[in-house]
């Protein structure tokens, strides 16, 4: 089955920009979706498709994709953006399986 690889942790100064990447073969066929998870809470969808934000997600969150890599960018990071972020896509095997990325802990300094 496919794997999605993320950097374990990144830090960003308040108000600066941070990019989180997700790599995997399945991303050549499926757009990654991105989820924010704060301690003790369920994950929340922040980006899906080419670069779509659900209602209520600030426009400082954006997504992009190239080849086998998807990226989530937070432009002007806020203290409340400190969280774990997971990417996700279908498996590229064609068996309708799912795979989640390993997760990235974002710390806002």
Partner 1 sequence: QVQLQQWGAGLLKPSETLSLTCAVYGGSFSGYYWSWIRQPPGKGLEWIGEINHSGSTNYNPSLKSRVTISVDTSKNQFSLKLSSVTAADTAVYYCARALEYSSSGRPYRVHYFDYWGQGTLVTVSS
Binding site for partner 1 (CB under 8 A): 1, 27-31, 33, 35, 42-45, 48-50, 54, 65, 86, 88-90, 95-103
Q: Looking at beta carbons only, is 104 or 108 nearer to partner 1? A: 104
Residue 63 near residue 30, CB atoms below 8 Å:
no
Q: Looking at beta carbons only, is 3 or 80 nearer to partner 1? A: 3
Find how far residue 91's CA is from the centre of its chain. 16
Find how far residue 109's CA is from the centre of its chain. 20
Smallest gap from Cβ 10 to partner 1, in A, equals: 16
Smallest gap from Cβ 15 to partner 1, in A, equals: 28
Q: What are phi and psi of 87, to 5 degrees?
A: -100, 165
Smallest gap from Cβ 77 to partner 1, in A, equals: 22
Residue 18 near residue 74, CB atoms below 8 Å:
yes
């Amino acid at each position: 089955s496919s794997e999605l690889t993320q950097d374990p942790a990144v830090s960003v100064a308040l108000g600066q920009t941070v990019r989180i990447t997700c790599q995997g073969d399945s991303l050549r066929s499926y757009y990654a979706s991105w989820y924010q998870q704060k301690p003790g809470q369920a994950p929340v969808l922040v980006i899906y498709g080419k670069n779509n934000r659900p209602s209520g997600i600030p426009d400082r969150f954006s997504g992009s994709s190239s080849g086998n890599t998807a990226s989530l960018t937070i432009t002007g990071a806020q203290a409340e953006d400190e969280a774990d972020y997971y990417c996700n896509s279908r498996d590229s095997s064609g068996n309708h399986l799912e795979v989640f990325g390993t997760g990235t802990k974002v710390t806002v300094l």
